[in-house]
A and B are shown apart, each in its own frame.
Chain A
Amino acid sequence: MKPASPFLELDEGPRVRVVFDGTPLDLRAGANLAAALLAAGVQTLRHTSVSGAPRGPFCMMGACYDCLVEIDGVVRQACMTEVAEGMEIARPRAGEAGHGA
């Protein structure tokens, strides 16, 4: 995790606790999840199942599927999800399945 956010945040607002990949994070309630994770210094949301390469948000409009995360057991796009209190967010597990290229 990066010590400082690579982003300037213009908005303030109440924050809620979520867990990303085992790490507790306080994100702005109702914020776009991908944006909130970026603001928190998380740039890599997953690793591809083909080569294990790191990926982060790319299009922010629900088209590229690079920001996939697992929320409550379902793999979803972080950029199409709003931050909610207590969210358990994990990196998708397909990459660990041993399904090589």
Chain B
Amino acid sequence: MAHSDLAVVGAGPAGMAAAVTAAEAGLSVTLLDEQPRPGGQIYRDVDRAAARRGDILGADFTVGVRLTGALAQPGVAHVPGATVWAIEAGWRLLYTRDGRAAEVTADRVILATGAMERPMPLPGWTLPGVMTAGAGQILLKQSGLVPREAVLVGCGPLLYLVAAQMVRAGVPPRALVETQTKAELIAAFRHAGGALRNGPALAKGLGLIAEIAGAGIDRHTGATDIAIDGEGQAEAVRFRAGGRVHRIPARTVLLHHGVVPNTQAARSLGIAHRWDHGQHCFAPVLDGWGETERAGLFIAGDGAGIAGAKAAEAAGRLAALQAGRQAGRLSRGQRDRQAAPLRAALSRERALRPFLDAAYPPHAPALRPPDATVVCRCEEVTAGDIRRYATLGCTGPNQAKAFGRAGMGPCQGRYCGLTVTALLAEANRQSPEATGYYRIRPPLKPVTLGELAAMDAPARDAAE
């Protein structure tokens, strides 16, 4: 059984940076990642994609090769294709790779499990052809696929980035159906001070919008009553904007209204989470190094709160420095000297967030959808079902789960959890924090019974 000073879960910017920094401090590191190649979602498959289509994806993507390249050092054991399905105190990380269950033990753990798209339940969002904008971008990065007749729906910088990349690939989207209003953008300027601290990022955003405008793509802002029409698959996006109803044919619809921390692993360990009012999501409670209330367990990157790839990298390094300090490999002075510039970078990246959060708020009707809309994709539970469970005494999502199976499917509530919390909070006139979240338990991802049984002690003895 492999033992490391540090185990890192997730090979995105936070995880890669953490692994390398810890290894440089002299720690033995195991980096578990479920993708076949490092990069996480933001730098998905960057080693291959940067060479093939770096011009389309842009410099903010290709810069990821700096992180993947640094992984090739003796202190880091990168285990690709490893799906972690349980983490136990002590620490034991159980994972599946090539159809076999395995485990690694470690003195400390950094969870760098990143972000996922904020669920955007709209009528028709379960139809084939409807994907997240992130999925559309992953198809481009990893597989070189660009949807031909696509409409982008929602709000936020990622929507513009995907649109611009599609323009560069020669297949512009048919339209951007944007949910934010001009008023929201204007109101966001009260946070402009923070945004100006990160001038380059702001300039890039404006550049993307200019690129989209230059390509002549229709932009509809302040869209409401959005639905995806289709018989068996997406055929059109219907919405109201500028005082009239529009219907734009589309074979692919890409949804996006922000990303949220993927908190499944942290929640399975009982880590306390707080409600982030600015970002409309839960985030784990951490100290300045990213350490949780459980000693030796750190969370770094977007899984700790959305701040983007550069912030994730800095946070990963900070957590690794503290792990190195705790392991006795770094003096306090060494740790703090390396930490100072990282803290400055982190603060610069975070300064942009209040502006973005205010300018591109989540689409309110998708936070609390109308009754007929499916909110739990796995078990096909509607918003109306959840509201009915509230009248049957469900004060929180775990009771609603028992009554209606929301969150019981294979995605373990990843794509309905925040919606169910929001619906119950509204129905019971409680805060999201008081309403709570699903109790997450292993397996974090499904694992076959055969793999589990192979780890049963008597069976293992017999096989030896």
Contact = CB atoms under 8 A, between A and B. Distances in A.
Interface string B388-402: 000000000000000
A32 B143 contact: yes
A6 B146 CA distance: 8
Nearest to A101: B380
Interface in B258-272: 262
A59 B143 contact: no
A88 interface: no
Contacts of A48: 380
A65 interface: yes
B139 interface: yes
A79 to B, nearest CB: 8
A18 interface: no
B116 A61 contact: yes
A55 B34 contact: no
B41 to A, nearest CB: 5
B378 interface: yes
Interface in B339-379: 377-379
B322 interface: no
- B: interface residue count bin: 35 or more
B131 A59 contact: yes
A63 B260 CA distance: 13
A101 B405 CA distance: 11
Contacts, number: 121
Contacts of A68: 410
Contacts of B216: none
Interface in A33-69: 35-36, 38-39, 43-45, 48, 50-51, 53-66, 68
Interface string A73-97: 0100000101000000000000000
Contacts of B233: 43-44, 54, 56
A19 B411 CA distance: 26
B148 A63 contact: no
Interface stretch (B122-130, B219-227, B301-309): B122-130
B134 A61 contact: yes
A40 to B, nearest CB: 11
Contact of A38 (B132, B145, B149, B378): B145
B278 interface: no
Closest 8 CB pairs of A and B: A56-B128, A10-B144, A35-B143, A11-B144, A60-B135, A65-B410, A43-B128, A60-B138
19 contacts: A6-B251, A8-B147, A10-B140, A43-B233, A44-B128, A44-B232, A45-B128, A53-B126, A54-B127, A54-B233, A58-B131, A58-B377, A59-B134, A60-B131, A61-B116, A64-B411, A64-B414, A68-B410, A74-B99
